[in-house]
Structures are given as structure tokens and as C-alpha cells.
Structure 1
Amino acid sequence: MTEPQGCKPALPGRPGDRLAGKVALVTGIGAGIGRGIALMFAQQGARVLGCDIDGASAQATVDTAAAAGLALHSLHPLDLTQPAAVAGLVEQAVALHGGIDILVNAAAFGAFEWLEAMDYQSQWRKTLVGEVDIVFLACQAAWPHLRARGGGSVINFASANAHMALPLSPALAHCAGKGAVLAMSRQLAMEGGPFGIRVNTISPALVETAATRTPLDTMPGFKDQVLGKFMLKRLGQPEDIGWLAIYLASDESSWVTAADFAIDAGATAW
């Protein structure tokens, strides 16, 4: 949607300087949590390079940032399952900004189907590639540049589904993928510790995005089931996740690593 002439677009978050001087690489900026984090990081003074496989959506995020005078660039369309493409993304960040301080692995693909109906190649394997492999590839490509900066922050996304099963949700492959990200991130935190590289995970419950609107709108009883697990009776918003990501990316969290943060309205507490 085109903004009215002379009006700045509405943005999540608010301006600040908590990430001033930092370079952030954010995947999946075209929509949802990735888009919100990219825009909120830029508002907090970070120089952001993003990517998305959906070129039109990524460009819309870049245009929104540009209209607000924010430093956000993107490579798109970009397929994070291709090692050469991931290496090129990291090289572009270094070429543009001289290095990397923050990596946010927000991009993901997940197929939702019950066990007996799930296709091995197109759903199970594709989900593990889209939720685990792309995190591995981005971390591996960014790692030497984080080391060269004397450390940095990696933020990966697990999920409430890494901790619990939700009735009515056919999330088998998604649960497996996010559980793997949770375990992998702990190992990465150990490997990164001697170099000052911090690795943490965020585990959201259901956040209202374009991707989650379909089950919310079409699966009878699903929204009530989700909200029934929440102590705070509303769906999450990308901005809810963005504030935590800002903290984990900033020097405020310089003694925080190998931690998993539940942003889930209390869903996993009972």
C-alpha cells in the first residue's frame, strides 16, 4: 500500500539509540517477526541488511524503512537453503558496513500436517531444511566475521512448540525443527563463548502474522485453543518479539548467552 504523500509510514517500536553503531543481519524481513525486528533495529540505530525469498515483500519493507529515513538494505530474492547465496549475503553486509555485530535468524519455513498424512520429502524434509539448515548455514557464514569483531550476538528462533504440544495443531515437523534449533543454539553458545559470541533463542507462542492468519481463520476452534493456553488473553504481535530481540542484540545483554526466552503469554508455564 502506498503511503499518503507527506506522511511517514507507521512503524513498530519507537526511535532510540540502543543499537547505535551496530551492524545487523536479519533474515526473513518480508513479513511477520523478521520484518518487525528489521524495522525496530533500524529505529534503534542499527545498520540493517536483510533478505527474503519473497522479493516483493522484502522491497516493501525496504521502502517502508526508506520513507522513515532508516538505514535498511536488502538482498532479494534470496534462497537461504543455498550455501553460496548465504555466503554472498554475509559478504554483502561486510562490504556495505565493514563487518557484522548481530545475526537474527528469523526466516523459516514449516509444513503443518499430521503424522500419517505427512509427505517425507515435500513436508518433513523441507521443514527441517527450512527451520534448521538455514540457521546452520547463516551461523556458519557469519561466524568468522563475528569473531573478527571480537564477538557479537546471534539470535535464533525456537518456539513454544519446542517445549509443548498444542492440541488441534498438526505441528510435528515444526516441533522437531524448533527443538533442534534450541539444542543447536546451546552448542553454538558454548563454541562462541571464547570469542565473545553470544547465542540465545527466543521461543514465541503464536504471533499474529500473515502466515498464522490462515489457521486462525480457517481451523475451527484453533484460536480458542491457543488463547486457552495463554495467561494474557491476546495473540502476540511482532513488536512483542522485537523488544526482546533489541535487548539480546544490545550491550545490555552482554552477560547473557545460551538462554531461551519464552515470549508466550505464559503458555508454557503450566
Structure 2
Amino acid sequence: MSQRLANKIALVTGIGGGIGRGCALMFARHGATIIGCDINPATAAQTVADAAAEGLTIDSMHPVDLTQPNDVKRWIERAAGKHGRIDVLLNAAAIPPHMARIEDIDYERQWTPTMVGEADVVVLACHYAWPWLKASGKASIINFASVNAFRASTHFGMGPHCAGKAAVLALTRQLAIEGAPAIRANTISPGMVVTPATQSAGASTDGEIRERILARVPMKRLGQPEDIAWAAVFLASDESGWVTGANLPVDGGVMAN
């Protein structure tokens, strides 16, 4: 499609589905060299195959458990060792959050796994990739917050999810300060995007919940992974060379409503 990301060595987590898959494919279409990972070997392999069907190449290590420091370190060292640098780190992977109202939260089974699955996986990847990103000199970190880092939900008990995504938002702003001028760090805050995770939760299928969600979306449709991927291409490219510490809502207008 273009060479907007030509010569960029880009690491993408969670390539097996949803936003991670969409971003990996879009980055490859725009000329980046992709090294992905996923905990699910089957879905990661499918993304690699789908890329090949388009005449594109995605390299992937799977399975990689991003909650395990040794797995994260092994993945990043393999990528950096093969290519000599890392220019882009896109942290799309997340463990589906537990939904519970504050009075019902189980600390060990709901709160802690959600925080680990949304915040820790970002921290670990940034930690181990940091020296390589710094050496690149023009690197970009793209993390995913959410509209729920700013807005509460009337549909679900989303305390753990809201807290996890707010943590990613705040962390990324700090990374922008620590990394400048060699590393830029920004967040994208998606609204409701149709992914396997949201479909399994019933939020993106036909029904009352979907209609209630759409009532808050001025654009009157749910997002697709490609909607998010286009924004990620901008933040990964040199076009956004003076953008750091920013948050980009891609939500069909929810944050403006």
C-alpha cells in the first residue's frame, strides 16, 4: 500500500487476534518488518498465514506469555539479535479483564489478574525493549489505554478494567518524559471494537447491550481493528515525529459525547 513504515523494525504483541492482528497486518502493508508474538500458537500462525496470502511477511514467536519476564526477554532478545535494533514497540496484547462491581470483586481472582493482564504486560515489554529502542534514536512506543480510562460504564462493573487502562495511560506519559528525545511514547484509546474478546463478552453482537453501547457512539457503528491500526501507523511513522506523551481517542466520537 505504501512505504510509510519502510525500514522500521516493529515488535507487535498479541498478533493472534483483534487489534494486535489488525496492527501487525497494517504495519506489514506499509513496509515495516514485523516481529510478533502471542500466547496462542494457532491464532498467531493464522495471522502469519494471512499475511503470506497477501504477499507479506510477519515473523512470530509463539507461544509467548507476556506475564512471564523470561518469555518477554527471550522474545525481545531474539528480535533485537536478528535485526540489531527495535524502532517500534506496539503493546496490543491484553488478558480479557474481569468484570465485577466493587462490592463483588475477588481480589486474587479478578482484580490482580486484570491488572497483570493490562498493565504488567506493558511494563515488562517496555522494560526489556527499552535499551534497544533508545539505541534506535527515533523509536516509538504505542500502548493502548481505553475510553474506560476516562469514562465509567453504566453497563458493566468495570473497576479493574478502568484502573488497568488508566495505569497504562499514566505509565505512557512517564515513558514519554524518560524516553525523549530518543523514544516517543503515546497511547491510543479505542472505543468498543469488534474483536474475539468483545464478541465473547456479548458486547459486539446483536442485542440490547450492543444497542445501548451504540447509543453513546455518534458515528453509530462499532470500531474495527483496522480503524485502530490506521492510527497506529501514524504514531509508528516519522509523520508523528513531534508527538509524544499524547493520547489519541479512536472511538467514533464517544469521548466528545
Identical aligned residues as a percent: 54
1:54-133 → structure 2 map (5 Å cutoff): 54-109=40-95, 110-133=97-120
Hey, what does 1:22 align to over in structure 2?
8
Mapped contact 2:143–2:187 kept (Cα < 8 A)? yes
Hey, what does 2:187 align to over in structure 1?
201
Mapped contact 1:156–1:185 kept (Cα < 8 A)? yes
Mapped to 1, the partners of 2:90 and 2:73 lie a distance apart of 15
Query: How far apart are residue 244 of structure 1 and its match?
Result: 0.4
The runs of 5 or more residues in structure 2 that have no matched partner are none
Paired residue secondary structure (2:90): strand
Which residue identity is paired with 1:58?
A: A
Query: How far apart are residue 190 of structure 1 and its match?
Result: 0.3
Hey, what does 2:31 align to over in structure 1?
45
Mapped to 2, the partners of 1:189 and 1:266 lie a distance apart of 26
Which residue identity is paired with 2:51?
A: A
Mapped to 2, the partners of 1:71 and 1:58 lie a distance apart of 13
Mean Cα displacement is larger for which, 67-76 or 134-143?
A: 67-76
Mapped to 1, the partners of 2:157 and 2:43 lie a distance apart of 27
Which residue identity is paired with 2:115?
A: L
The runs of 5 or more residues in structure 1 that have no matched partner are 1-14
Mapped to 2, the partners of 1:268 and 1:207 lie a distance apart of 15
Mapped to 1, the partners of 2:225 and 2:23 lie a distance apart of 7
Mapped contact 1:46–1:71 kept (Cα < 8 A)? no
Mean Cα displacement is larger for which, 69-78 or 132-141?
A: 69-78
Deviations along 1:165-196, one digit per CA (max 9) or x if unpaired, are 121122111000000000110000000014x2
1:255 is aligned to 2:239? no
Counterpart of 2:129 (choices 118, 142, 147) is 142
Mean Cα displacement is larger for which, 221-230 or 151-160?
A: 221-230
Which residue identity is paired with 2:195?
A: T
1:190 is aligned to 2:211? no
Q: Identify if the C-alpha distance between structure 1 residues 246 and 217 changes in structure 2 by more than 3 Å, giving closer, same or farther.
A: closer
Which residue identity is paired with 1:38?
A: A
Mapped to 2, the partners of 1:218 and 1:264 lie a distance apart of 17
Paired residue secondary structure (1:53): coil
What is the alpha-carbon root mean square deviation over aligned residues? 1.3
Counterpart of 1:178 (choices 139, 155, 165) is 165
Which residue identity is paired with 1:144?
A: P
Mapped contact 2:194–2:204 kept (Cα < 8 A)? no
Mapped to 1, the partners of 2:71 and 2:176 lie a distance apart of 25
TM score, norm. by length of structure 2: 0.96
Mapped to 1, the partners of 2:237 and 2:59 lie a distance apart of 20
Deviations along 1:53-87, one digit per CA (max 9) or x if unpaired, are 11110111011112222121111111001111111
Aligned residues, how many? 255
Paired residue secondary structure (2:180): helix
Mapped contact 1:232–1:266 kept (Cα < 8 A)? yes
Which residue identity is paired with 2:52?
A: A
Mapped contact 2:34–2:59 kept (Cα < 8 A)? yes
TM score, norm. by length of structure 1: 0.91
1:224 is aligned to 2:211? yes
Paired residue secondary structure (2:24): helix
Hey, what does 1:151 align to over in structure 2?
138
